[in-house]
RNA sequence: GGAGAGGUGACCGAGUUGGCUGAAGGUGCACGCCUGCUAAGCGUGUGUGGGUCAAAAGCCCACCCAGGGUUCGAAUCCCUGCCUCUCCGCCA
């Protein structure tokens, strides 16, 4: 959420951000409500002030055994009027709050302006596209040949987009998750969290998924709970409505969770095999930092995610997302795209974002700095990494001429654990 | 799911026959003093949000889980919701 004071003072900046992010939000309406709200607040305060002082007079007179009928009569009228104003004020506050929740975060100046992914720029490239002496197969062919996946039965019991990993495939998936978790724990200094997979409405609003993306989420009606689309949601919200100390920061968390996405509106687009799923596994990094630290932290988290791809020896590129491709809540985002030789394309396996104080404002996460001042902290997160497309890249990159799969060396111990 | 108890500031914890309590006391924290050895003591200060203001100071308003209600006036009374704890039931 953007500070209303900031919007008041920089309406054009906010309008431009909304346009560049392909969002819709009426700043004029918002400013009008803000103004009427302040007028109501002013009236309310003054009336209340009068009420408070006379009430004290009443208390004093009654204690002294004097008659206070005149005051009581006046206050009966004032109380009635103030009740009306208070109702209007509450309505105005609610309306303002609802509108504020629809204003996206403002991209940082260095983010390239553009409508869609075609305006993204390539930040850097690691490795090169591997060459094969044979025609490389796509991951689905390899998975089927080796019995790693059973998509038809997944579709039977749940629907398309709910994969079943079978045998060595399941083992490989689990190895990937363990490897990535341990890598971040041991080499990057994160702390692990295991979190709820169903969260309430307030939590979904805190990170910015609601109200915008309600249609994209699985919802449990009876309890008004949502299945999480990413661990970012529960992890970022763990400090909602709290005031931390500067000494507690930075907080660096890594968390593995399944992720659930309805992907409403994207049916039929890149859905082959594991490319786009309703349920998938992801290891997520989340950090809470002092505002001054967030730009450098973003770079560090990007390196943390890249380290995994490098460990696996996979060719990838880093994209600097343009304004139109940067998510609602993000100020700045890098995507990691890994090369899939069989499919002949780059696949997104990670998104690393700096949210500034946007989420901290929504979720009301603050900290007390060295000078004792209470401020909103900054939140960041990044996939480190999502497994399905990582699996695609691994299978396709390390396929053999006979269609078998040989895991990269670093992964072998994780697949060969003996009891 | 049934019965009971409770939710106060960064934290712990007073205050519920309604009225100078934004809220005692303690811890923590900040600054200063003292001391000199990784201790203690003493002093002072220390909530958040909003409005007014160019800004600061000042002034005003709100906030004792959340949302309603009663009242001239509520942390204190009533209702609803959420959460925590204890007991019972059910279940992994």
Mean pLDDT of A343-371: 92
**Rounded CA separation A308/A314 (Å):** 9
pLDDT for A115 beyond 80: yes
**Rounded CA separation A415/A378 (Å):** 38
In this predicted structure, what is the pLDDT of residue A208? 92
Contacts of A417 (CB under 8 A, 6+ apart): none
ipTM value for the complex: 0.86
The three-state secondary structure class of A13 is helix
User: B34 C1' – A242 CA distance, angstroms?
Assistant: 37
Mean pLDDT of A210-220: 90
Q: Is the CB of A101 under 7 A from strand B?
A: no
Using a 10 angstrom Cβ sphere, with 0-12 exposed, 13-18 middle and 19 or more buried, the burial of residue A201 is middle
pLDDT for A111 beyond 90: yes
pLDDT tens digit sequence for A281-323: 999 999 999 999 999 999 999 999 999 999 999 999 999 999 9
In this predicted structure, what is the pLDDT of residue A268? 65
pLDDT tens digit sequence for A268-281: 677 789 999 999 99
Residue predicted with more confidence, A164 or A248: A164
| Smallest CA–C1' separation from A4, nucleotide | B50
Mean pLDDT of A169-186: 98
In this predicted structure, what is the pLDDT of residue A237? 92
pLDDT for A352 beyond 90: yes
User: What torsion do the CA atoms of A104, A119, A352, A281 make, to the nearest 10 degrees?
Assistant: 100
How does the average pLDDT of chain A come out, rounded?
Answer: 93
| Smallest CA–C1' separation from A371, nucleotide | B30
Q: Which residues of A are annotated as catalytic?
A: 261, 276, 348, 351, 389
| Smallest CA–C1' separation from A374, nucleotide | B48
pLDDT for A193 beyond 90: yes
**Rounded CA separation A46/A35 (Å):** 17
Domains of chain A, by residue range, sit at 4-100, 117-415
Going by pLDDT thresholds of 50, 70 and 90, the confidence category of residue A267 is low
Q: pTM value?
A: 0.94
pLDDT for A67 beyond 90: no
Mean pLDDT of A70-80: 89
Q: Is the CB of A91 under 7 A from strand B?
A: no
In this predicted structure, what is the pLDDT of residue A145? 97
Query: Are A4-100 and A117-415 the same fold in CATH?
Result: no
For residues A218 and A227, the answer to whether their CB atoms sit within 8 Å is: yes
Q: Is the CB of A9 under 7 A from strand B?
A: no
pLDDT tens digit sequence for A378-411: 999 999 999 999 999 999 999 999 999 999 999 9
What CATH class is the domain A117-415?
Answer: alpha beta
Q: Is the CB of A197 under 7 A from strand B?
A: no
* CATH architecture, domain defined by A4-100: Orthogonal Bundle (1.10)
Nearest Cα to Cα of residue A318 among A298, A296, A293, A295: A298
List all nucleotides in chain B with at least one atom under 7 A from a protein Cβ.
10-11, 19-20, 29-30, 46-52, 60-62, 67-68, 71-73
Mean pLDDT of A333-360: 96
pLDDT for A73 beyond 80: yes
**Rounded CA separation A309/A337 (Å):** 10
In this predicted structure, what is the pLDDT of residue A273? 93
User: B25 C1' – A400 CA distance, angstroms?
Assistant: 75
In this predicted structure, what is the pLDDT of residue A265? 67
pLDDT for A183 beyond 90: yes
Residues 324-383 of A with CB under 7 A from strand B: 368, 372-374
Mean pLDDT of A242-247: 84
| Smallest CA–C1' separation from A245, nucleotide | B10
């Amino acid at each position: 959420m953007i500070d209303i004071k900031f919007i008041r003072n920089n309406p054009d900046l906010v309008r431009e951000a909304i346009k560049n992010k392909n969002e819709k939000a009426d700043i004029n309406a918002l400013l009008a409500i803000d103004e009427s709200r302040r007028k109501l607040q002013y009236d309310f305060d003054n009336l209340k002030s009068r009420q408070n002082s006379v009430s004290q007079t009443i208390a004093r007179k009654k204690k002294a055994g004097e008659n206070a009928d005149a005051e009581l009569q006046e206050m009966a009228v004032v109380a009635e009027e103030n009740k009306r104003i208070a109702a209007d004020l509450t309505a105005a506050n609610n309306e303002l709050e609802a509108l504020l929740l629809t204003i996206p975060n403002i991209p940082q100046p260095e983010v390239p302006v553009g409508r869609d992914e075609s305006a993204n720029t390539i930040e850097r490239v690691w490795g090169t596209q591997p060459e094969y002496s044979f025609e490389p197969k796509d991951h689905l062919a390899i998975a089927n040949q080796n019995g790693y996946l059973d998509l038809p039965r997944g579709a039977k019991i749940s629907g398309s987009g709910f994969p079943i990993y079978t045998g060595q495939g399941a083992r490989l998936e689990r190895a990937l998750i363990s490897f990535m978790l341990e890598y971040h724990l041991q080499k990057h200094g994160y702390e692990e969290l295991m979190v709820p997979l169903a969260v309430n409405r307030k939590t979904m609003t805190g990170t910015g998924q609601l109200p915008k993306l309600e249609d994209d989420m699985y919802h449990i009606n009876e309890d008004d709970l949502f299945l999480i689309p990413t661990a970012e949601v529960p992890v970022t919200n763990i400090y909602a409505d709290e005031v931390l100390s500067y000494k507690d920061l930075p907080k660096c968390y890594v968390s593995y969770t399944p992720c659930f996405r309805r992907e409403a509106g994207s049916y039929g687009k890149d859905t082959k095999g594991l490319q786009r799923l309703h349920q998938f596994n992801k290891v997520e990094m989340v950090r809470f930092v002092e505002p001054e630290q967030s730009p450098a932290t973003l770079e560090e988290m990007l390196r943390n995610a890249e380290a995994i791809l490098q460990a696996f020896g996979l060719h990838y590129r880093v994209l600097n997302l343009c304004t139109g491709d940067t998510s609602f809540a993000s100020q700045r985002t890098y995507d990691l795209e890994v090369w899939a030789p069989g499919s002949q394309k780059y696949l997104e396996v990670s998104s690393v974002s700096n949210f500034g104080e946007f989420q901290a404002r929504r979720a009301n996460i603050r900290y007390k700095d060295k000078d004792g001042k209470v401020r909103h902290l900054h939140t960041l997160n990044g996939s480190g990494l999502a497994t399905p497309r990582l699996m695609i890249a691994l299978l396709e990159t390390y396929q053999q001429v006979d269609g078998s799969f040989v895991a990269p060396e670093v992964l072998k111990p994780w697949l060969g654990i003996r009891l």
